Amino acid sequence: MTTAAVGSPGSARRYLHSLWLLSARDLRVRYATSALGYLWSILDPLVMSAIYWFVFTQIFQRTVGHDPYIVFLITALLPWVWFNSAVSDFTRAFNKDARLVRSTAIPRSIWVNRIVLSKGVEFLCSLPVLVAFAIIAGAPVGWGLLWFPVAIILQTALLVGLGLLVAPLCVLYTDLERTTKLILRVLFYASPIIYSVGDLPGIFPELAAFNPLSGIFTLYRVGFFPEVWDTLSIVVGALMCLAFLGLGILVFRRLERPVLKEL
């Protein structure tokens, strides 16, 4: 394909073409030497779902979540894997390809956005697992499923914003890579994955609303579990996603030059 066919340098079309090429390369490299290939994108959330389902339904008496519980878990675990793996990769986004970041004229934000896109493609490829378990478990499907794409858009905005924050800061402050991993561990249990916002006691539902993942995971679930709808967490979560996106763009613009000097 010629240069003219993908737009002039600096154009949005050229940017999107480069973004897709880099994301596709990441996916090919990730699965080129793997015998299981695509199955790895679904194995992690599937194993996690099976463990939590077994613990909370076969060993202990479950008091949180909704039935069928396996579908309840998968609807949040699949997007959590997208979120967790993307944020983890943000910490190495620039250091991993430092030479290319320094030498290419492509906007440096592409090194963040390619992670969001490639991990997002893996998330979309894992959705057949959710469909299969929903059919097997007999989960009811309602009009709330129309909120599913909205959840994807909000999560994309959140990840882009976080990536534009985390990636440059980890270059300037190397200890943030380990700190980010610790925060992700805490965030897993602080997010409504094995429970819903409505299961929280006291003032915790209001506090949970300030975790943008609460609103996002709720939107993923309402198509199967309309009773989990929580207006506060959804509205506050959506506003926080946009706030993180705006803050990320602002911080990235200010830190881009210091990052290039550091690499």
pTM for this model (two decimals): 0.88
- Compute how many other C-beta atoms are within 10 angstroms of the C-beta atom of residue 110: 20
| pLDDT of 35 | 54
Res 9 pLDDT > 70: no
DSSP 136-162: HHT----GGGGHHHHHHHHHHHHHHHH
62: left (phi over 0), alpha (psi -120 to 50) or beta: beta
- Distances from the Cα of 4 to the Cα of 8, 10, 15, 17, 197, angstroms: 6, 12, 13, 12, 51
Across the chain, mean pLDDT equals 87
Decide which of 8 and 233 is more confident: 233
The predicted-structure confidence for 39-93, as pLDDT tens digits, reads as follows 766 777 788 888 888 887 788 777 788 889 999 999 999 999 999 999 999 998 8
Distance between CA atoms of residues 93 and 114, nearest Å: 9
| Of the listed ranges 9-23, 78-92, 249-263, the one predicted with least confidence | 9-23
| pLDDT of 4 | 44
